[in-house]
Amino acid sequence: MRPVDTPTVVNPLREGLGAERTPDPCTMVIFGASGDLTRRKLLPALYNLALDGLLPDKFSIAGFARSDMTVEQFREQALESVRQFSRRPVDPKSWDRFARGLFYASAGSLKTDDFHRLAELMARVHRERDTGGNRVFYLSVPPSAYSGIVEGLGASGLAARERSGSGWTRVIVEKPFGRDLDTARELNQELAQVFAEEQVYRIDHFLGKETVQNILVFRFANGIFEPIWNRRYIDHVQITAAESLGIEGRAGYYEEAGALRDMVQNHMLQVLSLVGMEPPIAFEARAVRDEKVKVLRAIRPLLGEDVARYTARGQYGPGWVDGREVPGYRQEPNVDPASTTETFAALKLYVDNWRWAEVPFYLRTGKRLPKQTTEVAIHFKRAPLLLFRDMVDPTPLESNVLAMRIQPNEGITLKFHAKVPGISVRIRSVNMDFLYGASFAVEPPEAYETLILDCLLGDSTLFARRDEIEAAWSLVTDVLNGWRELPSPVFPNYEAGSWGPREAQDLMARDGRRWRRP
């Protein structure tokens, strides 16, 4: 998250928002340079940063992957990816400038020799582009390859800790970061043997979303919400990440992951920590992450019978989504026809601290739900409605809700009650709406743009720290263990295009509440 500098160029739309800083010259080494993530996200993000003049002149990318390719072929492939996935069209002049900074070497099977080849490539890039010795290693590879790469970087001296005058070194690690608490700890340990914690950037792309960052701005840049942001005024919180998409051909990964690992351990718990945290003493990495991790640690563990009582899981069967007939999860290509992987998860959590004692946080996420929508809904306690008991139309008054829409339709809605115009007093719920699109006529950057730039600037505020990852895994691992001990669920238990399994509705109904229809 970049601090605000004094503006140098005045664009009326951004007036007062501050100019951006430019990182030091550096080389980004991408492991897995011919993979899907690099093509869809990394190269387009880097190109868009270049287009906005946010990368240093000498910025270079050293692609390193198994495919045998020449530099020219890599540049050609990169152009194709950017054409296909960039949020803005390719401008030939900017592309030429960007492409001059693209280099490539084949990674082989990541043996010692391969790291020597990488060292040679980096030395060449450094000579030709004068990158000041600064480098970022981006691990855009399947998690099974992390250990070997980290070890290789250590053994080859490429990850050497920062020494004065030799430039800085950072590493970006993609998700999934482990598959339970033990494996996450192991990976953290392996990283710690080669890198200092300040050099490690664990990416969670949700933190790069404008609307997720805005949770902090909304809470801490306004005076009127913080005083009511606690158990005295808030009845409960609902965090929903609904997707209408299925698993999009990612069976190999998803069968092993499931909704809890794929969405809850990282994205949803990160959002929860931003909603629940105390005001940090400063807007910088350490202070913000100190407060976030306190929230994660304060979540009451789900153990024993609580797992069945406070969680629900589901798997979609065939159905209709967006007017299209879609297969069930078990019928997706490469999915085990008897798979018990969950494609839906709902949890009720308590954050056991003074601010949130006894305020439930309900989380739900699922694939093949009726629509694509991610939101945080703060449900306030009801007013004592004695005065208006008989004047409500058409149904009893609901409580006030503040809904922060993360995506799409980014914005914030406050639901409150108003008098229906007329001689008699009739009351109805109305919405007060803020829409990003209408208020700021600028297209927001992609999450990866924000995060990559932050890493190049050395700002890790929006990256998960070691203790955050472990606290989140600790909670999720308890649930995974609890699920393993319960009788096998009868899957599929929700139809594609519905709002998830009955169990998720029951979870709410037991508390006399229901899920909000986003």
Report the distance separating Cα 36 and Cα 43, nearest Å: 10
Shortest distance (Å) from residue 243 CB to ligand BG6: 5
SS (H, E, C) 50-71: HHCCCCCCCCEEEEEECCCCCH
SS (H, E, C) 69-127: CCHHHHHHHHHHHHHHHCCCCCCHHHHHHHHCCEEEEECCCCCHHHHHHHHHHHHHHHH
Helix (H, G, I), strand (E, B), or coil: what is residue 358? Answer: coil
Shortest distance (Å) from residue 266 CB to ligand BG6: 7
Q: What does the binding site for ligand BG6 look like in residue numbers (CB under 6 A)?
A: 205, 243, 262, 374
- Specify whether 116 is catalytic: no
Instruction: Identify which of residues 247 and 277 has a Cβ nearer to ligand BG6 in the complex.
Output: 247
CA distances from 464 to 129, 199, 261, 269, 288 (A): 31, 12, 15, 11, 11
Q: From the centroid of its chain, how far is CA 159?
A: 26
Instruction: Identify which of residues 140 and 374 has a Cβ nearer to ligand BG6 in the complex.
Output: 374
Shortest distance (Å) from residue 366 CB to ligand BG6: 11
Which is it for strands 316-317 and 360-366: parallel, antiparallel or unpaired?
A: unpaired
Tell me what percent of the chain is helix, strand and coil, each rounded to the nearest 5.
40, 20, 40
SS (H, E, C) 390-421: CCECCCCCCCCEEEEEEECCCEEEEEEEEEEC
Instruction: Identify which of residues 243 and 495 has a Cβ nearer to ligand BG6 in the complex.
Output: 243
The per-residue DSSP string of 359-379 comes to -EEEEEEESS-SS-EEEEEEE
Shortest distance (Å) from residue 176 CB to ligand BG6: 8
Shortest distance (Å) from residue 374 CB to ligand BG6: 6
Instruction: Identify which of residues 179 and 297 has a Cβ nearer to ligand BG6 in the complex.
Output: 179
Active-site residue (options: 126, 205, 236, 267)? 267
Shortest-Cβ-distance residue relative to ligand BG6: 262
Instruction: Identify which of residues 44 and 56 has a Cβ nearer to ligand BG6 in the complex.
Output: 44
Report the distance separating Cα 148 and Cα 158, nearest Å: 14
Which is it for strands 135-139 and 169-173: parallel, antiparallel or unpaired?
A: parallel
Instruction: Identify which of residues 243 and 459 has a Cβ nearer to ligand BG6 in the complex.
Output: 243
Shortest distance (Å) from residue 375 CB to ligand BG6: 12
- Sign for the CA dihedral angle at 233, 284, 449, 91 comes to positive
Instruction: Identify which of residues 85 and 380 has a Cβ nearer to ligand BG6 in the complex.
Output: 85
Active-site positions?
267
